[in-house]
Amino acid sequence: MHTAILNGAAPAHNRRDFLRAAAATLVALGTPARVALGAAPEHSLPALPYALNALDPVLSADTLGYHHGKHHKAYVDNLNRLVTGTELAGLSLEQVIAATAGKAAQAAVFNNAAQVWNHNFYWQSLRPQGGGEPPAELRRHIEASFGSLAACKKELAAAALSQFGSGWAWLAADGDRLKVVKTGNAELPVTLGLKPLLAIDVWEHAYYLDYQNRRADYVNAVLDKLVNWEFALQKLG
């Protein structure tokens, strides 16, 4: 995997050299260099897949506004600032995560990159009028792995509640088997070799405006009313 990352970095050099050359040409022509170099940041904040108030009253427009527009955006901005002009410039988000996971010297880049990825995934894990019954094919997998949908939800809630401090609860696939895992801070299942299917953000910023310290109320409301089982089935593939 690391070999692939190193190979993947080569085009970034070429791209930067090309951009520098292009910028120099534009400067010579009297065009501001930032037109060429500053036009497109490496990573961007995806739009929410629904309106700000679409998850109300489980999650208010205020919560989504701060969570997406401030917290998620800050991770994107930090990541762009940290990778600009480095070996990691030009790599995809997934490549940045793979190249920095487990490396203490790259912790800031990893944390911001992983949080961008986690939030991209979290917004898709929710939907208006979610919860309820999973599609039949997903339900079969859930019952094979947990015994019942209720047991699966109970295990997800327990993981979300027992994650000490900031982190995430996940439904993930380990080959054919589904399992629930929790991760601290920015950690994510892909670095554990698992395929993520659903994410529940249990950082306080995800629920504090609406639920204050009542994390259990937030988690149960998400599982009953917002969780996007169709997305999980799509990810299971």
Does the protein bind Mn ion through residue 207 (CB under 5 A)? no
C-alpha distances (whole Å) from 172 to each of 16, 181, 193, 206, 233 are 37, 7, 10, 21, 11
**Closer CB to Mn ion, residue 73 or residue 179?**
73
**Closer CB to Mn ion, residue 68 or residue 235?**
68
Does the protein bind Mn ion through residue 110 (CB under 5 A)? no
Of 173, 187, 13, residue with least CA distance to 100: 187
Q: How far is the CB of 85 from Mn ion (least distance, A)?
A: 28
Does the protein bind Mn ion through residue 146 (CB under 5 A)? no
Alpha helices by DSSP H, the chain? 2-28, 34-37, 61-66, 73-83, 93-100, 107-125, 136-146, 149-162, 208-211, 215-221, 229-236
Does the protein bind Mn ion through residue 123 (CB under 5 A)? no
Does the protein bind Mn ion through residue 121 (CB under 5 A)? no
Residue at shortest CB range from Mn ion: 201
**101, 117 in Cβ contact below 8 A?**
no
Residue with tokens 């961008």: 116
Q: Which residues of 20-34 are buried (b: 16+ CB within 10 A; e: fewer)?
A: eeebeebeeeeeeee
Q: How many CB atoms lie within 10 A of CB 153?
A: 20
**Interacting stretch for Mn ion, rule CB under 5 A, among 6-14, 49-57, 152-160, 199-207?**
199-207
**Interacting stretch for Mn ion, rule CB under 5 A, among 21-29, 30-38, 203-211, 218-226?**
203-211
Q: Quick one: which of 121, 168, 170, 203 contacts Mn ion (CB under 5 A)?
A: 203
**Interacting stretch for Mn ion, rule CB under 5 A, among 54-62, 150-158, 196-204, 221-229?**
196-204
**Closer CB to Mn ion, residue 218 or residue 229?**
218
Does the protein bind Mn ion through residue 187 (CB under 5 A)? no
Positions touching Mn ion (CB under 5 A) are: 201, 203, 206
